[in-house]
């Protein structure tokens, strides 16, 4: 056996703790291999992954179509920037636009969710010639300067000080709170259509319609941060245009997370109106639109289509909700599709911990009573049964 294969969890833990700067509170496992909804750890234990590495593994771990596309691209060309054309990029952009709501006609590729949001806000400012951005309490938009300043959730604005000026807070789901702060100096309104980190908070469909009306009345750009809700997670390709949002399509949709199945990639989808006000050199990034990321995007969308994952999400969500009704400790189930928040009368952190001991990976949120599930879109009923049996045991 090679030295690498015999490295124990204790050694991996000690080495990472010594050499990597502290960021997240980690689970005491080392992920080594993944297949679909399963993660295998360094000691060979199998875990049901209902968190997908922060909602990234939408197509599941190592989907064969995605792996093959990345491998084949890697053998041809790892990278060239936007200074040249690329068939791989052309195909990814065309595919992404073909599944987007009709009014969104162009894609800008970057590398992460926060970068997509920074660029979306910049486009709103460029288009309107105004500076202010309205976002919502409980929304999370990323950790770079402008995005963290737009994040009215917990400690984030505090750790992002000094904040970028011109960010205004409104109350999610409360249209009057928007009317109170809106005027002709506002460039954009940006929101997570389902607030994930806040504990999977939803708003009524008419909230989205009213927001669109307000934006149209005041010439404001509406931005949906679909970093979590996009790419099939809610059972439709996007929240934009879906019945849950009364069919409203914003001017800009931002994406990341599941878009590349694990290869870092972000995107802004924009309307012709927005694209018309963006000139060469207004936006840019070295890595955005690189060939490996673009191969991953095209294959991710193809895999979702090929395996009919959108219908799977809708069907398995219903099944999961039915099963959760049998567990009396579950007070409510929030969210849509595979972005679900299970609310308990008790704290969720010990449940999360105990589920891990039962070999199930789940997530917490900033609502202490809500356990978050963001599983791969390929999750099946039998795997839901594994979760339900573990949860039943844990809550008892
Ligand atoms: C809704 C939302 N927007 C933006 C971001 C930031 O994305 P990234 O971490 O890729 O910068 C996140 C990350 O969790 C998110 O959940």
Instruction: For 322-368, write each residue's pLDDT tens digit.
Output: 999 999 999 999 999 999 999 999 999 999 999 999 999 999 999 99
Which DSSP letter does residue 243 get?
G
Q: Tell me if 341 is assigned to some domain.
A: no
Burial letters 197-235, b for 16+ CB under 10 A, else e: bbbbbbbeeebbebbbebbeeeebbbbbbbbbbbbbbbb
Q: Give the Cα separation of 254 and 100 in Å (integer).
A: 12
Question: Taking CA 16 as the corner, what is the angle to CA 15 and CA 20, rounded to the nearest 5 degrees?
Answer: 125
**Both tokens of residue 91?**
């195909």
Give me the mean pLDDT over the 157-183 stretch.
98
Q: Tell me if 169 is assigned to some domain.
A: yes
38-41 vs 31-35, strand pairing mode: antiparallel
Q: Tell me if 175 is assigned to some domain.
A: yes
For residue 5, pLDDT beyond 60: no
For residue range 130-167, list pLDDT tens digits in order: 999 999 999 999 999 999 999 999 999 999 999 999 99
- With a pLDDT cut of 70, the percent of the chain lying above it is 98
Identify whether the C-beta of residue 109 lies closer than 8 Å to the C-beta of residue 269: no
What is the chain's mean pLDDT, rounded?
97
For residue 1, pLDDT beyond 90: no
Nearest CA among 62, 68, 1 for reference residue 31: 62
- In order of 333, 336, 368, the CA distances from 347 in angstroms are 15, 22, 6
| Domain CATH code at residue 129 | 3.40.640.10
Q: Tell me if 158 is assigned to some domain.
A: yes
Give the three-state DSSP class for 332: strand
CA 54 to ligand 1 centroid distance, Å? 9
For residue range 207-257, list pLDDT tens digits in order: 999 999 999 999 999 999 999 999 999 999 999 999 999 999 999 999 999
CA 267 to ligand 1 centroid distance, Å? 12
- Which residue has the CA at smallest separation from atom 8 of ligand 1? 113
Q: Which atom of ligand 1 is nearest to the CA of 257?
A: 10
| pLDDT score at 2 | 44
The label of the residue with tokens 């934006």 reads 215
| pLDDT score at 6 | 55
CA 125 to ligand 1 centroid distance, Å? 21
Rounded to two decimals, what is the model's pTM?
0.97
Identify whether the C-beta of residue 266 lies closer than 8 Å to the C-beta of residue 256: yes
Give me the mean pLDDT over the 78-106 stretch.
98
The label of the residue with tokens 């936006």 reads 283
Instruction: Give the count of domains, the chain.
Output: 1
Q: Strand locations in the chain, DSSP E?
A: 31-35, 38-41, 46-49, 104-110, 132-136, 167-170, 186-191, 221-225, 252-255, 266-271, 330-336, 339-344, 360-361, 370-373
Identify whether the C-beta of residue 32 lies closer than 8 Å to the C-beta of residue 5: no
H-run or E-run covering 120:
helix 113-128
**Both tokens of residue 144?**
């770079």
Pocket of ligand 1 (CB under 6 A): 112-114, 117, 140-142, 192, 196, 225, 227-228, 256
Cα-to-chain-centroid distance, residue 382: 25
For residue range 57-75, list pLDDT tens digits in order: 999 999 999 999 999 999 9
Q: Which atom of ligand 1 is nearest to the CA of 226?
A: 1
For residue range 107-118, list pLDDT tens digits in order: 999 999 999 999
Q: Tell me if 51 is assigned to some domain.
A: no
Q: How confident is the model at residue 7 (pLDDT cuts 50, 70, 90)?
A: confident
**Both tokens of residue 336?**
């849509």
CA 212 to ligand 1 centroid distance, Å? 23
For residue range 280-295, list pLDDT tens digits in order: 999 999 999 999 999 9
Q: Tell me if 269 is assigned to some domain.
A: yes
The boundaries of the domain holding residue 302 are 64-306
CA 192 to ligand 1 centroid distance, Å? 10
Q: Tell me if 384 is assigned to some domain.
A: no
Name the residue of 55, 120, 257, 339 whose CB sits within 8 Å of the most ligand 1 atoms, as the mutation to test its pocket: 257
For residue 371, pLDDT beyond 50: yes
For residue 3, pLDDT beyond 80: no
- In order of 105, 214, 256, 385, the CA distances from 108 in angstroms are 10, 26, 12, 40
Q: How confident is the model at residue 169 (pLDDT cuts 50, 70, 90)?
A: very high
Q: Tell me if 93 is assigned to some domain.
A: yes
């Amino acid at each position: 056996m090679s030295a690498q294969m015999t490295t124990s969890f204790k050694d991996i833990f000690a080495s990472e703790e010594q050499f990597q700067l502290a960021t997240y509170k980690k689970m005491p496992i080392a992920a080594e291999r993944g297949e679909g909804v399963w993660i295998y750890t360094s000691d060979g234990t199998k875990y049901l992954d209902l968190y997908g590495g922060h909602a990234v593994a939408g197509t599941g771990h190592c989907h064969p179509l995605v792996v093959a596309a990345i491998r084949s691209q890697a053998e041809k060309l790892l990278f060239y920037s936007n200074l040249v054309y690329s068939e791989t990029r052309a195909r990814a952009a065309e595919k992404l636009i073909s599944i987007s709501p009709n009014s969104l006609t162009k894609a800008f590729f970057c590398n992460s969710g926060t970068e997509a949001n920074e660029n979306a806000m910049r486009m709103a400012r460029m288009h309107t010639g105004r500076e202010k951005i309205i976002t919502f309490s409980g929304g999370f938009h990323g950790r770079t300067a402008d995005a963290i300043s737009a994040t009215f959730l917990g400690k984030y604005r505090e750790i992002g000080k000094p904040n970028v000026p011109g960010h205004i807070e409104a109350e999610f789901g409360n249209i009057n709170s928007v009317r109170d702060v809106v005027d002709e100096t506002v460039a954009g309104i940006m929101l997570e259509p389902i607030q994930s980190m806040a504990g999977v908070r939803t708003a009524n469909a008419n909230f989205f319609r009213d927001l669109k009306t307000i934006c149209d009345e005041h010439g404001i750009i509406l931005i949906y941060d679909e970093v979590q809700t996009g790419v099939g997670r809610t059972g439709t390709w996007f929240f934009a245009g879906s019945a849950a949002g009364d069919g409203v399509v914003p001017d800009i949709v931002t994406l990341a997370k599941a878009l590349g199945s694990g290869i870092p990639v972000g995107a802004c989808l924009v309307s012709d109106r927005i694209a018309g006000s963006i000139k060469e050199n207004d936006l840019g990034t070295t890595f955005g639109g690189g060939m490996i990321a673009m191969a991953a995007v095209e294959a991710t969308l193809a895999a979702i289509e090929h395996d009919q994952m959108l219908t799977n999400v809708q069907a398995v969500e219903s099944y999961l909700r039915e099963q959760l009704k049998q567990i009396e400790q579950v007070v409510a189930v929030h969210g849509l599709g595979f972005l679900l928040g299970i609310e308990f009368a008790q704290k969720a952190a010990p449940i999360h911990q105990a589920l891990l001991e039962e070999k199930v990976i789940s997530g917490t949120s900033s609502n202490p009573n809500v356990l978050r599930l963001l599983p791969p879109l390929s999750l099946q009923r039998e795997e839901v049964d594994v979760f339900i049996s573990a949860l039943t045991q844990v809550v008892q």
